[in-house]
A and B are shown apart, each in its own frame.
Chain A
Amino acid sequence: MTTRRQFIKISAYSVGVLAVGTGVYKAIDKLSAPIQANTLTVDLTRIPTYCEVCFWKCAGWIYKNDQGKIWKIIGNDEDLNCNGRLCPRGTGGVGMYYDEDRLKTPLIRTSDRGKQVFREASWDEAFAYIAEKMKKIAADHGPECVALFTHGSGGTYFGDLIKAYGSTSIAAPSYAQCRGPREVGFIATFGEEVGSPENTDIRDTKCLVLIGSHIGENMHNGQVQEMSDAIDKGATIITVDPRFSTAAGKSKFWLPIKPATDLALLLTWIREIIYNHYYDEAYVEKYCFGFEALKEHVKDYTPEWAYGITTIDPNLIRATAKEMANAAPAVIVHPGRHVTWYGDDTQRSRAIAILNALLGSWGRRGGFFRPDKFDLPSYPHPPFPEPQKTWRDAFPDKYRLADLALASGICEATIPTAARDCSFKGWIVNGTNLIETLPNQKQTIEAIQHLDLLVVVDTMPMEITGWADVVLPECTYIERYDSIRTGPHRKPQIALRMAATEPLFDSKPAAWMAIELSKHLGLEDYFRWGTIEELLDWQLKQVGSSLEEMKRIGVKTIERANDDIYFTENEEIEFSTPTGKIELYSTSFEAEGFDPLPKFTQHEEPPQGFYRLIYGRGPAHTFSRTANNPNLTDIMGENVLWVNPKVAREWGLENEQPVWLENQDGIQSEFSIKVRVTERIRWDSVYMVHGFGHADKRLRRCYGKGASDTKLITRVHIDPIMGGTGMRGNFVTFLTEKPAEKEVAS
């Protein structure tokens, strides 16, 4: 295949950059020299930050040693997201700063004797190049044809830039590849999303039900902490998982469900709770719509019916339904977070929402609290231009219930078709490695071939940077200010991220990049706030604080205006749904032509000799983002493949044995992965932690370590309701010998 855009590998890249790298290496060695114990007690300065290793954004303090070098990061005691305790990734955040493989200078793709290479560029050159291309795209196709993909704080500023330029196509893979179906399911039911951090009142729950949710392996910090508090208080944990997860190991009940059958179990639980009168009658009567229709709908979903589908013992289904009822309303059927599994995920999330409604847990102590959030005013700017079209125009009459843009949708819409007049010509990608984030890598790479401009902003040479026209090296969160964190919680809080040190190398904060690029585009009027420090100080002063105060305290708590964290007895509540009630029967789904009540659908099963590919999280890593972090690779340097002993016997597989995987479409893993023979996984599935098998040699610590699940996810089941990409319908088989090299798409 002849392609316009090649993936640029190290051979082409190293010439210019190694020279820089060598000097840097020496500097790093010096920086990380051990500090003697007697220096640890000297007066230390501490700088407030909030973490960027994942989306939880815990607030903390960056400490320096007596030589003024970055030493450690400790949680801020006032912060409700972390309560003074960061997770391993947050603690290991220093590794992001010290990683020798960081992007160090702007890079521009050029052609050298027919071969594509990157050359180092000045910031001015890089901005001039981007601005010229963006102006041309605006003139030829309209500014709406540039999209922003973002999963990081820098998205705020690039978001303003792209809106000023004339596009509103801003997408985060955390929606259509992760939590989107959950939000749509909960909005349809309660009129409100679950949000982040989730409004689950785990701390005070009496019964926590995890269905495909792996608290403890996902280190969503506050939730892990609260699950531990709940264990201390004697709460019952019920875990539904084909894998004996960490949480399953802490559970009173583990339901080792056959994968892809969760909705059958949920519908049966709903039936048990209705027909045994376990539900909260007063709550349902007062707040819910469509109870009779639901009751009729689930009447045949008996535990015996579910047994045949889920392989869960009917008595266990009955016992767990009773357990939930006994705890109600202090019960949480957890909505999960990464829920894009089989394409009917919005309906499964609906079933979870319905179950919570029947138990009366929404708005109740030990169930789901009402979060509160404090918003800061935006700095005045001219109105953003009204775009002529958006990503939605690429999907007429589809995914209308999606409340945010679909990253996968924009990717698909970048590939021109006869029927579509909205194809994207430019991508700006901030802090998300789309190659490992979007399923169906082939489509992602094909889409990239159709672009006139691909700009990647990142701290690390992730795979996506290899496809870029321009790479902009962002400094790590340790080295930059960012917008004030304002996420929702039991009480509203704001948190400051302050630059603890000058950026290493020639890396820069995204906010600075957006301002500079705006000047090249003639859009500087939208960024009249000056420096980011001036912006933050202005915003904070509007609400009675200041940058000075926030530098001292890091986190500020604002008391709730009303004492309304839980519903009060007989409170009159108008829910933001079409009927103003909690919709057990969804009128919004019905209006869009979707099932108003969730139905069980059978999913495909693995063919003979194949196993369902299940992927998940390791506590020391975030997506593929942290795979090269020196502190975190120390904890987990590669992923392994969990294989049930029965399966291992059949294939003659042993612990530590490297295998390659091939999926149902003949796609093979690029690297081998070591087998872990364990009883913790069912015989019909294999499991690996997501985010490994990196193929870019510039990531020297993690290159070729483990396998990439994303590469093996070529079959995607799109959720018709909101466009989520179901990724658990892929099956793999083992190759015990290294497969012959196939030509790698380049």
Chain B
Amino acid sequence: MRYAMAVDTKKCVGCSDCVVACQTENNVPIGYCREWVVEVLDGTYPQLEMEIRSERCNHCENSPCVRCCPTGASHYSDGGIVLVNEKKCIGCGACITSCPYDARYTHPNGYVDKCTFCIHRIHDGLKPACAAVCPTKCIYFGDLEDPGSEVSEILKKRKHKTLIPEAGTKPQLYFLI
């Protein structure tokens, strides 16, 4: 099993509903977020191009955050999902520094927090909150080892990229371009 997510930049309007849904679903405190939206603009008026991306933890297959964690709090869970065991986390922040995607933050309760792909929802057969709420249906989620999953299907059909592939972390968050 290999969970992955694909975000369609052609459909994403950058409304940040994913961010709000993540916040309420996972009780992320006001003032913090596990995901965010990026707008990249190229060109000069009126020759312009814009890419909008909903971003979060890339659940890398070769995760520097897991490697550098001194207590084993950061670990791989089902289907390669990268999680933090908040009881083991001492809040040292090594993982925050090691992450090329800046996907982690220190929760006011002292531990490091991040996207879980809503693993509690996956266990219930649901999609992550961001994918379930997105009004543009631009977030695809599933098991890459299942060729029939929506994420496998869309990655077969569409041109895509990952962010900072040169960091060698084997990110599992794909962007359809």
Using CB atoms and an 8 Å cutoff, list the residues of chain A in contact with chain B. Answer: 32, 34-35, 37, 40-41, 71-75, 82, 84-88, 91-92, 94, 215-217, 219, 221, 224-225, 227-229, 231-232, 244, 246-250, 254, 256, 619-620, 630-632, 634-636, 644, 678-683
Contact = CB atoms under 8 A, between A and B. Distances in A.
Contacts of B23: 631, 634
A94 B24 contact: yes
Instruction: Give the one of A91, A244, A247 with max B CB within 10 A.
Output: A91
A678 B41 contact: yes
A619 B134 contact: no
A367 B52 CA distance: 28
Given A224-B136, A244-B50, A620-B20, A219 B44 contact: no
A635 B30 CA distance: 10
B127 to A, nearest CB: 11
B166 interface: no
Contacts of A224: 13, 15, 135-136
A301 B22 CA distance: 52
B160 interface: no
- By size class, the interface of chain B is 35 or more
A246 B124 CA distance: 35
8 contacts: A41-B120, A71-B24, A244-B41, A247-B13, A250-B11, A630-B30, A634-B23, A635-B19
B1 to A, nearest CB: 20
A91 B41 contact: no
A-B pairs, top 9 by smallest CB distance, nearest first, are: A216-B13, A619-B15, A249-B50, A228-B136, A256-B46, A88-B17, A72-B24, A34-B27, A91-B20
A635 B37 CA distance: 10
A244 B48 contact: yes
Instruction: Give the one of A72, A74, A94, A217 with max B CB within 10 A.
Output: A72
A504 to B, nearest CB: 17
B33 interface: yes
Given A231-B11, A679-B41, A680-B41, A631 B24 contact: yes
Contacts of B14: 216, 246, 619
Contacts of A85: 17, 132-135, 137
A634 B46 contact: no
B16 interface: yes
A631 B45 contact: no
A88 B45 contact: no
B17 A87 contact: yes
Nearest to B116: A37
Given A219-B135, A632-B20, A254 B46 contact: yes
B2 interface: no
Contacts of B27: 34-35
A681 B41 CA distance: 12
B102 interface: no
Contacts of B136: 216, 224-225, 227-228
Given A85-B135, A630-B30, A635 B16 contact: yes
Interface string B88-128: 00000000000000000000010000000000100110000
Contact of A619 (B11, B16, B120, B123): B16
B16 A620 contact: yes
A611 to B, nearest CB: 14
A37 B17 contact: no
A682 B24 contact: no
Contacts of B11: 228, 231-232, 250
Contacts of A91: 17, 20-21, 24, 133
B29 interface: yes
A92 B15 CA distance: 12
Contacts of B165: none
A98 to B, nearest CB: 9
B109 A34 contact: yes
Contacts of B25: 72
A92 B19 CA distance: 10
B15 A41 contact: no
Contacts of A247: 13
B26 to A, nearest CB: 8
Contacts of B123: 41
B17 A86 contact: yes
Contacts of B17: 85-88, 91, 219, 619
Contacts of B43: 679
Given A224-B136, A619-B14, A680-B48, 11 more contacts: A34-B29, A94-B24, A224-B13, A228-B11, A246-B50, A246-B52, A631-B23, A632-B20, A635-B16, A679-B48, A680-B50
B137 A228 contact: yes
Instruction: Give the one of A75, A247, A632, A635 with max B CB within 10 A.
Output: A635
